[in-house]
Amino acid sequence: MREVYLDNAATTRCNPQVARLALELMTEDYGNPSSLHRKGFEAQRRLRAARRQLAEALGCREEEVIFTSGGTEANNLAIQGAVAARLRLGKTLVAMATAHASVLEPLRYLEKQGHTLRLVPPLPDGSADEAALLEAVDGDTVLFCSQLVDSEVGTVAPVAGLSRAIRRKNKNVYLHCDAVQGLGKTAFSAARLGVDSLSVSAHKIAAPKGCGALYLRRGARILPLCYGGGQEGGLRPGTESTPLACAFGEAAALALGNMEENSAHVKELREYFVNKLVKIPGVCMNSPPQATPYICNLSVPGYRSETMLHFLAERGIYVSSGSACSKGAASHVLKAMGLPPERVDSALRVSFCPRNTKEEIDVLCEALGEGMAALARSGKGK
């Protein structure tokens, strides 16, 4: 059975070229970058090269890149680290209600510690409610978290404009941006977004899992989550994972180099997909047209997400029922958008990568149609 992988927002298949590089770093240049000898020095040079590649992709300086174990750690480091360094400045934290769990949960943890948390719901089409977000920021606000690209419906937030407006209102607010779904999909520069920190993850761009990075603006102050040997400027101690970091750097360079070409291809895929979907009665789109072409959220009201997902998986087609991180719980993003329960319960997220093809979309659409017929007949899914 042919595999049709359309869950690239959850994770991607590692590019073999990138995997080979990781293997090389594990079996040949395996030194500890902190070792004084040549083997260590070689590893340090490789790590530096990776840091440069990532800095290039993020539009920042190499010393502004901190490697972490993934997007979750990068978000936690920024959020907890920034708040810990600003205890005396205020207590209010503001974020988008559609944020990823790795942003929401540390915020909720801080709320339990005595901070005030304001989560701002999106506009009905899923895009950021700029006016309400700005309204939520006041003189007591110390942290504002934005999300560059939404992980479930793919809307792109106007982060640069928001950053400017917030700074104008309260210059002490620390601005963090979760760009995990943005890296490689939309052109941005961390410096231009005007944020203090920005998180990205390796496995969303065809690099291995277990690696991420935090852009930390030079001069922005945060405290570390753990203490140790002083690596990564003392903010993320522990021996650097050179294989993963180098793989990440390489994948970021590839994604940056092919960004235009990839975007054009995926845009074409999305248009093709949307045009096919309108011909299947009963299917509705949850992603607004201006969302990133990489993520399409749709609902098949009457058919539960999970049932459809398993039906498709039996045919080798992989999509998701929302963010993979929420493990089947109803989507908080779609709820926050105010969609009716039957749309939320039947949502499917189809996310592309540049390797996907129109034939794969044909297979998906056909299977969706079959599913709607078969599942309706069997009486399941209602």
What is the Cα 341 distance to its own chain's centre? 25
CA distance 151 to 297: 10
Q: What secondary structure does DSSP assign to 304-332, as a single string? A: -HHHHHHHHHHTTEE-BSS-GGGTTSPPH
| Minimum distance of another protein from residue 38's CB (angstroms) | 6
Q: Which amino acid is at 49?
A: A
- The one-letter code for the residue type at 252 is A
What is the Cα–Cα distance from 284 to 297, expressed in whole angstroms?
A: 9
Output 63 or 359, the one with its CB closest to another protein. 63
Radius of gyration of the chain (CA): 21
User: What's the min distance (Å) between Cβ of 135 and another protein?
Assistant: 17
- Asked if 41 touches another protein (CB under 8 A), the answer is yes
365 an active-site residue?
Answer: no
- What is the rounded distance in angstroms from the CA atom of residue 212 to the CA atom of residue 204? 10
Contact between 261 and another protein by CB under 8 A: the answer reads no
Check residue 45 for interaction with another protein (CB under 8 A).
Answer: yes
Task: Select 169 or 355, whichever has its Cβ closest to another protein.
Answer: 169
Beta carbon of residue 134, minimum distance to another protein (angstroms, whole number): 13
Pattern 160-199, another protein, x by CB under 8 A: ----x---x--------------------x--x-------
For 176, the token pair is 């963090």
What is residue 350's three-state secondary structure? Answer: strand
| Cα separation, 224 vs 82, whole angstroms | 9
The answer to whether the beta carbons of residues 161 and 139 sit under 8 Å apart is no
Cβ closest to another protein, residue 13 vs residue 192: 192
Query: Which residue in 168, 166, 125, 116 sits closest to 146, CA to CA?
Result: 166
Q: Is 44 in the site for another protein (CB under 8 A)?
A: yes
Q: Whole-angstrom Cα distance, residue 129 to residue 162? A: 10
String marking each residue 54-73 x if it binds another protein according to CB under 8 A: ---------x----------
The pair of structure tokens assigned to 336 is 């926050």
- Chosen residue from 1, 2, 38, 377 binding another protein by CB under 8 A: 38
Which span (34-42, 125-133, 318-326, 369-377) binds another protein, by CB under 8 A?
Answer: 34-42
The residue from 177, 325, 353, 365 that is catalytic is 325
Region binding another protein by CB under 8 A among candidate stretches 7-15, 37-45, 111-119, 354-362: 37-45
Rounded to the nearest 10°, the torsion over CA 324, 297, 2, 354 is -90
b/e 201-212 (16+ beta carbons within 10 angstroms → b):
bbbbbbbbebbb
Nearest approach in angstroms of CB 168 to another protein is 5
CB of 94 to another protein, least distance (A): 20
Does 226 bind another protein (CB under 8 A)? Our answer is no
Size of the site for another protein (CB under 8 A): 10
Piece of the chain touching another protein by CB under 8 A; list 35-43, 143-151, 245-253, 372-380? 35-43
Q: Which is nearer to another protein, 113 or 172 (CB)?
A: 172
Q: Is the CB of 116 or the CB of 189 nearer to another protein?
A: 189
36 makes contact with another protein (CB under 8 A):
yes
Amino acid making up residue 22? A
Q: What angle do CA 37, 49, 246 make, to 5 degrees?
A: 90
Question: Smallest distance from the beta carbon of 164 to another protein, in angstroms?
Answer: 7
- As a whole number of angstroms, the longest Cα–Cα distance in the chain is 69
Nearer to another protein, 107 or 133 (CB): 133
Q: Give residues in contact with another protein (CB under 8 A).
A: 36, 38, 41, 44-45, 63, 164, 168, 189, 192
Residues classed as catalytic: 325
